[in-house]
Structure 1
Amino acid sequence: MSSASFPYLFSGLTIRGHEIRNRILSTGHQTWLAERNRPGEAMIAYHEARARGGVGLIVNESARFHASAIGEAPDLTLTDDEAIAHYARLAAAVHRHGAKIFGQLSHPGRVTRRMMNGMRGVVWAPSSVPENRFHVVPREMPAAMVAEIIEAAGAAAGRYAEAGYDGVELMASHGLLFAQFLNPAVNLREDEYGGSEENRLRPLREALIAARRAVGEGVVVGLRISADETEEGGLDQQAVLDVCRRLSDEGLVDYINTTLGTMAGPGGSIHVVPPMEIDPAYVAPHAAAIRAQVGVPVFVAGRINQPQIAEAVLAAGQADMCGMTRALIVDPDMPRKSRTGRADEIRACIGCNQACIGHFHAGYPISCIQNPLTGRETLLPLEPPPAARPLRVMVAGAGPAGMKAAVTAAEMGHQVVLAEAAAQPGGQALLAQLLPDRAEFGGLVTNLVTELALRQVEIRLNTRVTAAMLAEERPDALIVATGSAPVMPRIEGDLGDHVVTAADVLTGKAKPGGRVVVADWRCDQIGIGLAILLARRGHHVRLAVSGVCAGQNLQQYVRDLWAGRLHEAGIEVIPYARIYGVDHDTAWFLHTASGAAVTVEGVDSVVLVEGNAPDMTLEREIAGLGLPFVTIGDCTIARSAEEAIYDGLAITRSFLGAVSATQPLPAGEQE
């Protein structure tokens, strides 16, 4: 498929005289790549990679424009003229590759802890209405501060324009400050900024007017807004539609960028970065409702991770541009591949949320479990270093680590054989995709298999690497990626046939009884998924987790989504519970905080969800052979697909580079 296959996606869009080359948008999203709260080399390299890959429009992450919004987090700020030069370098880098760039402006209002020096700071909002995610009761802004914020928004917009940006976008999405002013459940004021619909709109309206005044007629001014906040007490679709219609009719916005949800509650915040369990392009009908009522282009985001999905949204007239942010995080070259007939080469986003928004919530810069180069554009060469000497490389194990290692070795110019003991590649990812509503995780395997085929890597299935095999094959280097195996806990009592493993349940080898307790040591997706799977099959299920809550180790939007589903399914969750005994129809757990016994009666089967230990069999077998080797992925220590794929790229590059540099020249090539 080429651009001819995506005629809507690769048609241009003109907004206020700015020709955007296609309908692919990278929406504003936190990267935490800022340096001293300004764009630096890492952020510039990150966005430049996407501009080089062919994106039409980049909206850089939101900049805080007023002191009341600034904490100690590495957010962008745009509060003084000294910042202009830094933003100008980012704009120039994006323009160099033919893309357009808009700058985003936001104020969190009540949806922040505003941490400073390890302590909570003063949080300002329209009114002192409690917020349900960060558990903040904010301080009401005096009218003078509201006026100051409006003026500051205009000044920051002007700085974007001076930096050479093509447009400016104000955020009234996700329950942020301007949305809080719009919401009668949050804005309880009785002054000129509250009490009536007209007054509640005033801060946003006047900020847009201030932005236009500051940027002049040649710069785009747009709005990002949640079409529905999907939270009790949040703005509903009709209220948002009325706001959009009025701002469009008054000529105050050049486009409207739609999303869904609010950061002010666990349920609404799931839609900030919707995970794979949510349908693709699910926000598009909401965008279409707004588009039917306004006279400006409407953008939409929300699980649009493939060009064919975006094309369908555009062809249906639901939107004028598609936010494909995570699709660009995993594959910056997605637009170029789509346009040049290489759509089958696209590394597709699987919506796992692990290293994009997951890194942000953990306090680390953005990356991607499938693309370790993302967010590390200044740390890792975008192209692998060519081999000093081509090597014969054997990779043992075709899980995510081994597959990525084989791809990387082939990219470096080495001759690669990838051997896998099982009948198909994929490793632990093959189990992960069997969990309920997680089939998309298997896309990780599909993507890597495609990369292997493109690089013509030889794959040998049903082939276990042994010392004897290596003696016969005589490779120059070995990469050990043999994975890991579950560690069985010590359990007292009569285990019998009613204690089974998670893997055996998922693969159908074990058939649990009618009353099941899932003993979840991992506190990740597996225990939750098994509980839901068995409940859907008609079992009575209880989930005992060795942590503070189910999904403790998951990215919070994924965790919260599944917490809701556990509740809806009527599954009892028992926290702080580590299994220590089983007998007939009873399972005993240890309360991990108090040490007291927790007895669960009426149990037919116990499903164990345990951790994994490295498989060191091959490593030990070859220790004395003198063959250069390295371990990667789970056979070093069991972690996740993110670390496995990172190892497959970074460690493989380093290891083979070192081995190649020390290999003697072939006969006839000696100096």
Structure 2
Amino acid sequence: MAYPTLLQETDLGPVSLRNRIMSSGHQTTLVEDYLPTEDFFAYHRARAQGGAGLIVLEAHSVHESGLLTDHTIDASRDAIVDEYRPFAEEINSLGTKLFCQLFHGGRERYSGDYAPPAPAPSDTPTERLHVIPCPMETDEVYEMIEAYADAAERMDRAGLDGVEIVGSHSYLPAQFWNPSLNDRSDEFGGSLENRCRFTVEIADRIRDRVSDDFTVGIRLSAEEKHKHGLSLEETLPIIQHLDEAATFDYWSVVVGSSSTHKGCSYIVPPASEDRQIVRSPGEAVASVIESPLILTSRINTPAKGEEMVSDGPADVVGMTRALIADPDMPAKAAEGRESDILPCVSCNQGCIGRYQEELPIRCTMNPVTGREREFRTLEAAESAKEIAVIGGGPAGLVAASTAAERGHEVTLFEQRDVLGGKIRTYADLDHRGAYGEWVEAMVNRLEAYEVDIERGVEFDPGQSSGYDVYLLAIGSHGRKPDITIDDDAHAVTAVEALENPEELGESIVVSDWDGNWSALDLASTLGSEHDIEVITSAYTAGESVQQYRQNQLLAKLDELDVTLTPHHRVREVKESNIELENLFSESVDERHGVDTVVFAHGGEADYSLYRNLVAEGAQVERVGDCWAPRSLDEAVWEGFKAATEI
């Protein structure tokens, strides 16, 4: 067996797992009226079918004051019991154990239609979410303890196998632990014992209310990763006290904090971080506890998971984003089919990024994620057709593999010698993730489905009589704005700049149109060798980038001394200087001594091939940027959707 320890059975308290792979609690927004939907059940069912040993369902609010958003599951109502009973039975029948998170964010809360007072140990505001909480009265603390126990009992009645008390990321239990957030003078403040009392009482009351074969664990941040948060040195005594004063069947360890911009970036660590971010603190925690240890963060391949459980401190590993990208990853690993695993690239766009926009969970690189109810099983085509997919970027790769999987005869034309399109340009950027690995996985799929790949071949419209259907996926090229650019000025697009950095000179202005990835890619990649100013039309550079990624990239730009100028657009480019204009006042300013202006202004589609094919009477479908320049999410989804409809 390739992964003997990772795929080995293990126990978490009274519950036995078939392997050590866990899908950790993560918000899906597949929730309506504070209850899970059929899409929610289908999403998790796929991970159980794919071989996960344990699924921990997302944050379930134990009290109505803890509903983090309008899409939070409410475990304070009895309705949740009947919703979960058949689901829990089904998940168990598939060989997977099912826990859920018991959650209250305290002062850490997003606002919905109405923002009730946020209960917390003290009234210390939270920096990131700008909430000023209401200090809990002593009787309210005891009521909250009882709410945790009530919720746990409901999960036991519903047939779940366990619960996890969420004390991570500076949520309510951790707010009691932290003396800088807890200035209480009652039995829940002051000494270490008192600050831990809230958690100990919760654990004890849950034990009194649930059956003996029900697992009770706790999740916490070993270090909160910001200067006002709990450090590892401060957390270890808390863990030791909790371990002595209460009984937990496992400890689930992460890092980070919701309360600051810096700390929250580690909740779902981006590609710039690796698994070592949690391994080192995990080793420290393992040295002071007896119960099993779960580690989660950037453990995104079976090999990394095996390393963490065989040579590292973990008994179980959270491989959540890997399972978001490919729910069948455990089964494929067990069967030796690693080359067929669709990798997570850690872009954070389709998963946590969509949650923060109150949208249902998706995966940028896997179009089925969040749509399992409709697309978990692809239907074979009624009749096989000859299909030409023109363009080997993300949309074309997905379209070709999906059409071939359904039984069509597919030829893929790519004018370059390599597949992948523009994401090849970004594949080597450390902060951008494993795009190259995703392209390799897609090429493996093309070969497995016997797609005829024509590399280095520009499609000839005269060939249009040879195919039943044409899927046009030729992408777009970089756009320059319709402004005056002198012939002697050096003005290039973002991709051109990344591919030819030696031609840029010393002083660079990046003109950012929409606050998206490209400007941050350029500035963070080139900033150590060049003097860079990002002039953005957005409210801030990176405005459209997922928050955790944005935070870390803006921190890097600060370290590189990159100048950020928001609310402006470049109005004119001359040989060595530019004019810029304030979007609101329309006042004009200048920059002198500029060697290169790089336009990060999105894409521009070429519609000529589409129009030629249509004029010849061909059946043509456009997907991705050649239809209209947008994001990678749309390219992948449209390539998939078009192929399912042929």
- Give the TM-score category using the shorter length: over 0.9
1:533 Cα shift? Answer: 2.1
Alignment match, 1:445:
439
- The gaps in structure 1 that reach 5 residues or longer are 657-671
- The range that moved more, 443-452 or 178-187, is 443-452
Q: CA deviation digits over 1:477-531, x for unaligned, max 9?
A: 1111111122221232535242222222211276111111111224222111211
Alpha-carbon contact 1:420-1:461 (below 8 Å) kept: yes
Q: 1:495 to 1:90 in 2, by over 3 A?
A: farther
3-state SS in 2 of match to 1:257 = strand
CA contact (8 A) 1:244 1:256 kept: no
How far off its partner does 1:81 sit? 2.1
- Tell me whether 1:81 sits opposite 2:73 in the alignment: no
Instruction: Give the aligned partner of residue 388 of structure 1.
Output: 382
Given the alignment, which residue of 465, 475, 479 partners 2:459?
465
Letter in 2 for 1:417: T
Judge conservation of contact 2:62–2:151 (CA < 8 Å) in 1: yes
2:369 aligns with 374
Equivalent residues of 2:6, 2:305 under 8 A apart: yes
Residue 287 (structure 1) shift: 0.9
SS in 2 for 1:271: coil
Structure 2 matches for 1:281-430, cutoff 5 A?
281-378=276-373, 380-430=374-424
**Equivalent residue runs for 1:172-183 within 5 Å:** 172-183=167-178
Matching residue's letter, 1:188: D
Given the alignment of the two structures, is residue 595 of structure 1 paired with residue 595 of structure 2, yes or no? no
For residues 6-85 of structure 1, what are the structure 2 equivalents within 5 Å? 6-70=3-67, 73-85=70-82
**Secondary structure of 1:362's aligned partner:** coil
The amino acid across from 2:221 in the alignment is S
Partner letter of residue 572 of structure 1?
T
How far did residue 448 of structure 1 move? 1.3
Residue pair 1:44, 1:93 contacting (<8 A) in 2 also: no
- The code of the aligned residue for 2:544 comes to N
Moved over 6 A (4+): none
Instruction: Give the Cα–Cα distance (whole angstroms) in 1 for the partners of residues 151 and 301 of structure 2.
Output: 34
SS of the residue corresponding to residue 176 of structure 2 reads: helix
What secondary structure, in the 3-state scheme, does the structure 2 residue paired with 1:622 have? helix
Identity %: 35
Alpha-carbon deviations, 1:634-668, whole Å to 9, x = none? 111111221111111112212x1xxxxxxxxxxxx
Are the equivalent residues in 1 in contact too, given 2:23–2:56 (CA < 8 A)?
A: yes
Separation in 2 of the partners of 1:161 and 1:23?
A: 22
In the other structure, the counterpart of 1:478 is: 470
Matched, 1:488 2:480: yes
For residues 30-82 of structure 1, the C-alpha deviation after alignment (integer angstroms, 9 at most, x for no partner) is 01112321223111111110001000001000100112213651111111223
Deviates more, 1:504-513 or 1:433-442: 433-442
Give the whole-Å Cα distance in 1 for the aligned partners of 2:493 and 2:350: 28
Aligned residues: 646
Amino acid of the residue matched to residue 562 of structure 1?
Answer: L
Query: Structure 1 counterpart of 2:109, which letter?
Result: T
Q: State the one-letter code of the partner of 2:491.
A: V
How far residue 250 of structure 1 moved from its aligned partner, in angstroms, is 3.6
Give the 3-state SS of the residue equivalent to 1:312 in structure 2: helix
1:576 Cα offset (Å): 1.1
TM-score, reference length from structure 1: 0.94
Match of 2:576 in 1: 585
Query: Does 1:273 find its partner at 2:265?
Result: no
Provide the C-alpha distance between the structure 1 equivalents of 2:192 and 2:324, rounded to a whole number of angstroms.
Answer: 39
- Supply the distance in 1 between the matched residues of 2:485 and 2:47 (Cα, whole angstroms): 58
Decide whether the 8 Å contact of 2:309 with 2:316 is kept in 1.
yes
Give the structure 1 partner of residue 191 of structure 2.
Answer: 196
Counterpart-to-counterpart distance in 2, 1:69 and 1:509:
50
Corresponding position of 1:132:
127
Task: State the TM-score, normalized to the length of structure 2.
Answer: 0.97
* DSSP-derived class of the 2:503 partner: coil
Q: Which stretch shows the higher mean deviation, 461-470 or 548-557?
A: 461-470
Change (3 A) 1:489 1:317: closer
Residues 177 and 569 (structure 1 numbering): CA distance in 2 closer, same or farther, change over 3 Å?
Answer: same
Which residue is 1:541 aligned to? 532
Q: Which residue of 2 aligns with 1:664?
A: none
Provide the aligned C-alpha RMSD in A.
1.5
| Residue identity opposite 2:644 in structure 1 | R
Question: Could you tell me whether the CA contact under 8 Å between 1:436 and 1:532 is conserved in 2?
Answer: no
User: Is 1:232 the equivalent of 2:232?
Assistant: no
**Residue equivalent to 1:515:** 507
Q: Does 1:626 align with 2:644?
A: no
Contiguous gaps of at least 5 residues in structure 2: none
**How far off is 1:276 after superposition?**
0.9
Is 1:466–1:621's contact at 8 Å kept on the other side of the alignment?
no
Cα contact 1:432–1:526 (8 A) shared by 2: no
Change beyond 3 A, Cα 1:71–1:264: closer
Kept in 2: contact 1:40–1:86 (CA 8 A)? no
Report the CA distance shift for 1:125/1:55 in structure 2 as closer, same or farther (over 3 A): same
Change in Cα spacing, 1:625 to 1:263, as seen in structure 2 (3 Å) is same
8 A contact 1:422–1:461 mirrored in 2: yes
Bigger drift between 482-491 and 563-572 goes to 482-491
In the alignment, is residue 210 of structure 1 matched against residue 205 of structure 2? Answer: yes
Paired residues of 1:519 and 1:609 also in contact (CA < 8 A): yes
Deviates more, 1:221-230 or 1:341-350: 341-350
* CA distance in structure 2 between the aligned counterparts of 1:647 and 1:439, rounded to whole angstroms: 22
